[in-house]
Amino acid sequence: MTLPETAEYLDRDHYEALVIGSGFGGAVAACRLAQAGVDVAIIERGRRWRPGDFPRDLSRLDDGWLWMCGHGLYDALPLNDILAVRAAGYGGGSLVYANVAMRAPAEVFDDRWPAPYTRQMLDPYYDLASYMLNVRPVPADPRTGELPPKTRLMARAADDLGHADGFFHPNLAVTFDDHGPHQTNRFGVPQRGCTFCGECDIGCNVGAKNTLDLTYLAVAEKHGATVGVRTEAVYLARTDEGYRVRLREHGHPDGAVERDVTARHVFLCAGALGSTELLLRSRDQYGTLPGLPEALGSRYSGNGDFLSFGDGLTEPFEPHSGPTITTASLIRSTGTDREHWFVLEDGGFSQHLMRLVRTLHLSRLPAHVAQLVGDGTRQVLAATRGVAARLDEAPGDAAVLLAMGRDRADGRISLTRTGKRLRVSWDVTRNDPLYAEQQSISGAVVRAFGGRPFTTPTWRLFRQPVTVHNLGGAPMGAGPDTGVVDADGQVFGHPGLYVLDGGALPGATGGNPSLTIAAVAERCIEVAVRRITGDPGWTAPERARAVRAVVPEDRAVRAVIARGPRPRPAGGLRFDETMRGHLRLPAGIRPIVLRLTVGIPDLRALLDDPVHTAEVSGTVEIAGRTASPAAVRDGVLHLLAPAGGSTERSMIYLLPFTDDDGRDWLLRGVKSIGRRHGLHPWRATTRLRLSMTRPEDRYEAKPIGHATLEVCDVARMLGTVRPTGTRKVATALRFGGFFAKEVASAYLPTLMRLP
Statement to judge: residues 631 and 538 lie in one domain: no
Helices (H) and strands (E) in the chain, counts: 16, 28
Rounded to 10 degrees, the C-alpha dihedral 318/319/320/322 comes to: 90
Residues 6+ away with beta carbon under 8 Å from 24: 92, 93, 94, 212, 501, 502, 514, 517, 518, 521
User: How are strands ordered across the β-sheet holding 83-87?
Assistant: 74-78, 83-87, 466-467
Write down the pLDDT at residue 430. Answer: 79
Dump pLDDT digits (tens) for 740-752.
888 888 887 544 3
- The residue range of the domain holding 694 is 572-747
> Of 537, 559, 581, which residue constitutes the final position of a domain?
559
Residue 618 lies in a domain: yes
Residues 555 and 581 placed together within one structural domain of the fold: no
Give the residue among 634, 177, 678 at the shortest CA–CA distance from 433: 634
Count of all residues that appear for the chain in the document: 755
The answer on 625 and 549 residing in a single domain is: no
Same domain for 524 and 643, yes or no, is no
What CATH number is associated with residue 524? 3.50.50.60
Task: Note the pLDDT of residue 750.
Answer: 45
Give the end of a domain, one of 495, 525, 559. 559
**What gap in Å lies between CA 518 and CA 504, rounded to an integer?**
12
Per-residue model confidence as pLDDT tens digits over 619-674: 999 998 998 999 998 788 888 877 655 578 888 898 999 999 999 898 989 898 88
Count of C-beta atoms within a 10 Å radius of residue 722: 14
Backbone angles phi, psi at 442, to 5 degrees: -60, -45
Residue 172 within a domain: yes
- Say how far apart CA 508 and CA 338 lie, in whole Å: 16
Residues 346-364 have pLDDT tens digits of 998 777 666 666 555 555 5
Long-range residue pairs from 55-63, CB within 8 A, at least 24 positions apart, any chain? 55/202, 55/203, 56/202, 56/205, 56/352, 58/352, 58/355, 58/356, 58/359, 61/360, 61/364, 61/365, 62/366
Q: Residues 413, 552: one domain?
A: yes
Same domain, yes or no: 530 and 618: no
Backbone angles phi, psi at 322, to 5 degrees: 90, 175
Are residues 265 and 348 both part of a single domain? yes
Please spell the DSSP secondary structure of 712-726, one letter per residue: S-HHHHHHT-EEESS
The ranges of the chain with pLDDT < 70 are 1-7, 60-63, 334-338, 352-396, 457-463, 566-570, 610, 643-646, 676-679, 696-702, 713-715, 749-755
Do 269 and 402 sit in the same domain of this protein?
yes
- Number of compact structural domains in the chain: 2
Q: Is residue 6 part of a domain?
A: no
Indicate whether 754 belongs to any domain.
no
Neighbours of 568 (CB within 10 A): 15
Domain-embedded: residue 755: no
547 DSSP 8-state letter: P
pLDDT for the residue numbered 367:
55
Query: Does any domain span residue 753?
Result: no
> Contacts by 648-651 with C-beta closer than 8 Å and gap 24+?
648/672, 648/673, 648/674, 648/676, 648/746, 649/673, 649/674, 649/742, 649/743, 649/745, 649/746, 651/685
How far is C-alpha 82 from the geometric centre of its chain's CA atoms?
Answer: 8
**Per-residue confidence (pLDDT) for residue 752, from 0 to 100:** 39
Residues 66 and 133 placed together within one structural domain of the fold: yes
399 and 454 in a single domain? The answer is: yes
Q: Report yes or no: 731 and 739 within 8 Å, Cβ to Cβ.
A: no
Q: Is residue 519 part of a domain?
A: yes
Q: Are residues 580 and 522 in the same domain?
A: no
Distance of CA 64 to the CA centre of its chain: 23
pTM above 0.75, yes or no: yes
Domain boundary among 525, 559, 593: 559
| Residue 91 resides in a domain | yes
Say if residue 605 is in the same domain as residue 543: no
